[in-house]
Amino acid sequence: MQSRYFAVLSSFALAVATAVGCGGTTDDAGPAKVRFSAAPLEAPDFRLQTVDGGQMQLSDSNGKVRLIDFWATWCAPCVEEIPMLKELHDKYGDQGLEILAIAEEDASVLREFVDEHDIDYTNLVGTEAVATSYRVLGLPSAFLVDGDGRIVETFQGPKPARVLEEKIRNLLGSV
């Protein structure tokens, strides 16, 4: 059984390597390139409780660029990203960026953490249903959503600050 599994896995890896390494289109400017085109997915709408006890629905912020960040207070890489997220919020919040941090934890635990770390971007009490609708596989996970509500970028694991900021600037320039 195990050798059959590896044979299937090897065949799949070979097919992917062949498609990526040899497939694609060519143009006069250079070697073969693989081009993928997929329409951005619509961000699933949700209504969640804020850590202050209010309610927030994703569609309430249509027209803004949103960074939806799934995180947890116990997740070291998530906590390490907080200064970067605060900086992005401070720098681009007035230009149309909204950061929505979602954690599946008790509201009082989140409120205490947010207060302790002086986090001023929106923090929401998450649910398994919302995480499932975004297909969150681990933490941190983030989804960059354009003003029309389409997911234009997905980040699994820690987000590269420079790349994230560049993508945010580009989206804000088109809003």
Q: Please write the tens of the pLDDT for every residue from 109-119.
A: 999 999 999 99
In this prediction, residue 94 carries a pLDDT of 96
Would you say 100 and 66 are in contact if contact means Cβ atoms under 8 Å apart?
yes
Measured CA to CA, the distance from residue 6 to residue 132 in angstroms comes to 30
In this prediction, residue 10 carries a pLDDT of 38
pLDDT tens sequence across 15-71: 333 333 333 333 344 333 333 335 569 999 999 999 999 999 999 999 999 999 999
Would you say 172 and 95 are in contact if contact means Cβ atoms under 8 Å apart?
yes
Query: 121-155: string of b/e by CB count within 10 Å (b at 16+)?
Result: bbbbbbeeebbeebebeebbbbbbbbbebebbbeb
Q: What is the mean pLDDT of the chain?
A: 83
Name the pLDDT band for 3 (thresholds 50, 70, 90).
very low
What letter represents residue 125's amino acid?
V
108 has a pLDDT exceeding 70: yes
In this prediction, residue 98 carries a pLDDT of 98
In this prediction, residue 70 carries a pLDDT of 98
In this prediction, residue 41 carries a pLDDT of 92
